[in-house]
Amino acid sequence: MWPDFRFNLEEICGAVGDYGTLIPIVLGVAIVSNVNVGYILLFFSIWYVITGIYYKMPIPVEPMKVIGGIAIAEGLSAGEIAASGIILGVLFLVLGFCKGMKFIQEKVPHSVVRGIQLGLALLLIKTSINFIIGDYMLAIICIMIIVSFLIAAKFTNIPDVSVIIVLLIGVFVGFSRSGFPQISILPLPGIIIPTVQDFLKSGWLVTIPQAPLTITNAILATSLLMRDLVNRDLDPDKLSKSIGLMNLTSVPFGGFPMCHGSGGLAAQYRFGARTGGSNIISGLILLPVALFFAGPEFVAIIPFGVFGALLVFVAIELGKHGLKTDSYIVTGSIAILALVINMIIAFIVGMILAYVLTKIRKRPQASKNVTG
């Protein structure tokens, strides 16, 4: 069993392992929706530290991906983003305190949760390819570095610091291309008060598709993956409550809707995180960036080819656990539908398929009992 906190090289590597999904979404939202990336990163920093101290495990803190995607595609306003976070914050806080996630966990088959994991792995591969194509030479160099450390780790005691080396290369290349970003101190945040129209639009356009993904990937799949990776039980209702608190204390002040996530957990674990120390380190890394480099140009320093290389290995780590299923038909169907349509349709179809297959399997057994 791992200790509650470690502050070593492995935890530092794990601490930055999930930045490959965090930063591209945050940057895209900041550019398109004209929100202050400094406030977004500030609340990510605060909640990374809080979750690390509270859970004493490497619990990811991620932007809600459906909201991020819609915000980038539709150009949501700051009020609409805040409204979506408030609605979801209330929803998951209530579900957590009412033990609703435990009930849902009992009703959702493991094959469906594994399908969500595998589907997310395929989506990460797709995203990584898009990143790699734009900067393929740098991405290939980064992939070779990570693979070299993977091979070395099998035969030596050399710690896997590949993610730190890759990010340092990314920063160096970014500075050489764009120069050093301007330093600017983040002012105190104001309060964002969404209008009734903001709540109505966000409730229909954003929160309805986001909620099922948060339930399955951010809560149920994260809880299951934690057991796979570090053999520790993680109460899904606790995850639901922390998601509710994260959003209700952040989005009214300029933060972005946040959740946990099995992809982030796979990323942190893949690069060395085993304790709550990685979360604390991750938050402390983001804090000075938020406070003194509040412009989106700093976040854009690291080339996307670096993120593409990192996401490949995150997807592989997540996909390995997605294959630990009791029904390849259900899990595979969900993964393919998530890739070609979307995660929500995949989840609905997967649930129906899982229950239909369960009834079919029970029918011959029932017939035998009657015959006997």
Kindly indicate the confidence band of residue 127, based on its pLDDT and cuts at 50, 70 and 90: confident
pLDDT of amino acid 346: 87
Kindly indicate the confidence band of residue 3, based on its pLDDT and cuts at 50, 70 and 90: confident
Task: Retrieve residue 343's tokens.
Answer: 């995660």
pLDDT of amino acid 366: 53
pLDDT of amino acid 149: 85
* Furthest CA-CA distance within the chain: 80
Measure the CA dihedral 63/64/69/75, to 10°. Answer: -80
- The yes-or-no verdict on residue 174 having pLDDT over 90 is no
pLDDT of amino acid 235: 93
Kindly indicate the confidence band of residue 116, based on its pLDDT and cuts at 50, 70 and 90: confident
Higher-pLDDT residue of 304 and 142 is: 142
Q: pLDDT, tens digit, for every residue of 252-308?
A: 999 999 999 888 898 888 888 999 999 999 999 999 988 987 665 666 677 888 878
The three-state secondary structure class of 221 is helix
Q: What are phi and psi of 258, to 5 degrees?
A: -120, 155
CB-based contact 70:28 (threshold 8 Å): no
Least confident of 107-116, 149-158, 281-290, 357-366: 357-366
The average pLDDT across 128-142 equals 88
The average pLDDT across 316-344 equals 85
The average pLDDT across 142-157 equals 84
- The yes-or-no verdict on residue 364 having pLDDT over 70 is no
Q: pLDDT, tens digit, for every residue of 30-45?
A: 766 778 889 999 999 9
- The yes-or-no verdict on residue 370 having pLDDT over 60 is no
CB-based contact 71:209 (threshold 8 Å): no
Can you list the alpha helix ranges (DSSP code H) found in the chain?
A: 9-15, 19-33, 37-55, 65-74, 78-97, 100-107, 110-134, 136-155, 162-178, 196-202, 208-213, 222-230, 236-250, 262-270, 277-292, 296-299, 304-322, 328-340, 343-371
In terms of Cβ atoms closer than 10 Å to its own Cβ (0-12, 13-18, 19+), residue 247 is: buried
- The yes-or-no verdict on residue 317 having pLDDT over 80 is no
- The yes-or-no verdict on residue 198 having pLDDT over 60 is yes
- The yes-or-no verdict on residue 71 having pLDDT over 90 is no
The span from the CA of 256 to the CA of 299, in Å, is 15
The average pLDDT across 2-23 equals 83
CB-based contact 340:349 (threshold 8 Å): no
pLDDT of amino acid 279: 96
CB atoms within 10 A of CB 241: 18
Under DSSP, the state recorded for 205 is I
pLDDT of amino acid 129: 86
- Among 201, 200, 198, 150, which Cα is nearest to 312's? 150
CB-based contact 17:266 (threshold 8 Å): no
Least confident of 152-156, 210-214, 220-224, 248-252: 152-156
Q: pLDDT, tens digit, for every residue of 234-253?
A: 999 999 999 999 999 999 99
**pTM attached to this predicted model:** 0.79
Q: How many CA atoms lie within 13 A of 359 on its CB side?
A: 6
Task: Retrieve residue 220's tokens.
Answer: 């149920």
Q: Could you tell me what percent of the chain has a pLDDT over 70?
A: 92
pLDDT of amino acid 56: 93
- The yes-or-no verdict on residue 193 having pLDDT over 80 is yes
pLDDT of amino acid 50: 97
Which single residue is written with the structure tokens 């899990």? Answer: 331
Which residues make beta-bridge pairs with 293? Answer: 184
Under DSSP, the state recorded for 62 is E
Least confident of 15-19, 168-172, 216-220, 293-297: 293-297
Higher-pLDDT residue of 254 and 162 is: 254
Q: What is the mean pLDDT of the chain?
A: 85
pLDDT of amino acid 40: 92
pLDDT of amino acid 367: 54
Q: Could you tell me what percent of the chain has a pLDDT over 90?
A: 34
